[in-house]
Structure 1
Amino acid sequence: MIEMKNVTKTFKIHKKNSGLVSSIKSFVKREYETVNALNDISFHIDEGEMVGYIGPNGAGKSTSIKIMSGILYPDSGNCIINGKVPWKDRKIYVKDIGVVFGQRSQLWWDIAVSDSYDLLKQIYKIPDKEFKETLKMMTDMIDIEELLKMPTRQLSLGQRMRCEIVASLLHSPKILFLDEPTIGLDAVSKIAVRDFINKINKERKTTVILTTHDTQDIEALTNRIILIGKGKLLLDGNLNKLKEEFEVKNGLKDITTEQLVVGLYKEYKI
């Protein structure tokens, strides 16, 4: 389903020291430094899996998601998802994926949520019958019927994120990329979003890639985690087995997912 093989991505960043003199010099001659966002990343994800893709800020998680969703292309290596190369087969490929970025919206700000859904229906060319059936099923599952006539700008963050996830699934994608989907949500909204994602995975066999700093998201949704740090893949394994190994190695018992993640960050110095 998803095959990342030796993927590398670098960025040039403008380097400038503080102070007026340095600012003036930067206009005449700019200095750049190269940042390795991804360094030889390889992994395989099967159809229907839910995987937690974790790491500290700046680890390369969002860059990976953008490459897998076709927004960015790598400097080297390859990425084949559902038989397609995301950045080469973009027009066909986007029908296979849904993407939710927690800090960005795909809903139009000043119109009703239902009108945004109608626009997405036209963009993805979803047949009327399929669109109505899918929207009805998801509206019932995540309880957003009363929100459909409201403009996006009037929704709370929790309400908007529920609507965002539905928007990403209207065209019945095979793969769902979730980048911090519960950021800033209250406890009730987080539970609603997690339950919905679990149902979609079980009922539609949707493959889910989740990036998050919330260890409760990881515990509630995933059985496997991939740890990335400083652009390198550091660890890939079953969550429960990793807990057991960490407990034995450190003489601990019944550790939480949060304790595991913090311990791994310290162990790998990231």
Structure 2
Amino acid sequence: MAPIIELNEVRRNFVVRARAGRLRRTKRVVHAVDGITAAVAAGEACGYIGANGAGKSTTIKMLTGILVPSGGSVRTCGFDPVPERRALARHIGVVFGQRSQLWWDLPLGESFRVLAAIHRIPPGVAGTRIDQLVEGLDLAPFLDTPVRQLSLGERMRGEVAAALVHRPKLLVLDEPTIGLDMISKERLRQFLVAERRSEGTTLLLTTHDMSDIERLCDRVLVVDQGRLVYDGTLPGLAQRVAMQRVLVVDLLAEHPPLQIEGAEHIGSELNGVRQRLSFSPEENTAARVLAAVSSQVEVRDLTLEEPAIEDIVRTLYSRQ
């Protein structure tokens, strides 16, 4: 079976012009995507991550036919995205965290029906599918609410439903959980896992939230300065980068800096009520560090801080 996504030495350049004096302008070429080769199989869930400006959104725009590559070739769901963009639209769904495909003044439910009509889905089939999406994403309470009156979390769940009305082969999510609270994020993740299991949908996800990648993706592609620097699993990425994780513990009372084997105390706040302990995921686990802390003091609350994607990419790229 042919891959859902095929990138072969894909490049995309932009010319940036700047003023140099009163009468002269200079220009330089920016290589937003610089020779990426990768393939994503049908049914796969793939995270596409990197620092801001790494080339993620540019790649997605080429995959969906919005931008023409400067070089190389792109095929999405078997189509050449730009000349066959209309045919491709029947097979993909796209959610951009900062852009809407819903009608601002229409009730949410009406937007779904309009999209079903655009995709020429028979009314009976469309009704069943919309009901399924409404139930899975808990959209029933605000189907009659105009989109402009929805909260960000409600609208983002509506955007995901809108992208899935026509049962696309490929769902592209660009920062789908940006600005969502913890409950909304978890509800959306659970739905996407169930949708992929039942429909066999291929998922391409870009995000700065590593929890999204952990919960949803089997594979990770890391891009930096337009080049692919890693292709593999998330545990493999963590092992390759071997960056420190940080366990933040809130204690019931003030306490001197904790001394824990296999972890390093890196800071205290509130006279030692809150303490931060860093550890290497290759040598220790959060569970063992927490158990060691609990054997010394009583813990009221805790959080686990993952390295920022920018730091992961920077470390990974510096080792190439």
Q: Same fold (TM over 0.5)?
A: yes
Normalised by the length of structure 1, the TM-score is: 0.91
Residues in 2 aligned to 1:240 and 1:88: alpha-carbon distance in whole angstroms: 38
- Relative contact order, CA 8 A, sep 6+: which one is greater? 1
Matching of residue 217 in structure 1 with residue 212 in structure 2: yes
- Identify which range, 235-244 or 216-225, moves more after superposition: 235-244
Residues in 2 aligned to 1:209 and 1:257: alpha-carbon distance in whole angstroms: 24
For the pair shown, which has the larger CA radius of gyration, 1 or 2? 2
Percent identical residues? 39
For the structure 1 residues 95 and 121, does the alpha-carbon distance in structure 2 shift closer, same or farther, using more than 3 Å as the test?
Answer: same
Q: Which has the larger share of helix?
A: 1
Instruction: Give the superposition deviation at 1:233.
Output: 0.5
Number of aligned residue pairs: give it: 262
Residues in 2 aligned to 1:244 and 1:254: alpha-carbon distance in whole angstroms: 13
Residues in 2 aligned to 1:68 and 1:41: alpha-carbon distance in whole angstroms: 12
Instruction: Give the superposition deviation at 1:36.
Output: 0.4
Residues in 2 aligned to 1:4 and 1:111: alpha-carbon distance in whole angstroms: 38
Matching of residue 259 in structure 1 with residue 304 in structure 2: no
Unaligned runs of 5+ in 2: 244-279, 287-303
- Paired residues of 2:13 and 2:33 also in contact (CA < 8 A): yes
**Structure 1 vs Structure 2 CA RMSD:** 2.2
Unaligned runs of 5+ in 1: none
Instruction: Give the superposition deviation at 1:96.
Output: 0.3
Residues 174-202 of structure 1 deviation map (CA, whole Å, 9 limit, x = unaligned)? 00000000011111111111111111111
Instruction: Give the superposition deviation at 1:137.
Output: 0.7
Residues in 1 aligned to 2:222 and 2:202: alpha-carbon distance in whole angstroms: 18
Instruction: Give the superposition deviation at 1:260.
Output: 8.3
- Identify which range, 161-170 or 122-131, moves more after superposition: 122-131
Residue aligning to 1:4: 7
Matching of residue 155 in structure 1 with residue 150 in structure 2: yes
Normalised by the length of structure 2, the TM-score is: 0.77
Residue aligning to 2:267: none
For the structure 1 residues 260 and 14, does the alpha-carbon distance in structure 2 shift closer, same or farther, using more than 3 Å as the test?
Answer: closer
Matching of residue 268 in structure 1 with residue 268 in structure 2: no
Residue aligning to 2:260: none
Matching of residue 96 in structure 1 with residue 99 in structure 2: no
The amino acid across from 1:253 in the alignment is N
For the structure 1 residues 37 and 264, does the alpha-carbon distance in structure 2 shift closer, same or farther, using more than 3 Å as the test?
Answer: closer
Residues in 1 aligned to 2:242 and 2:27: alpha-carbon distance in whole angstroms: 44
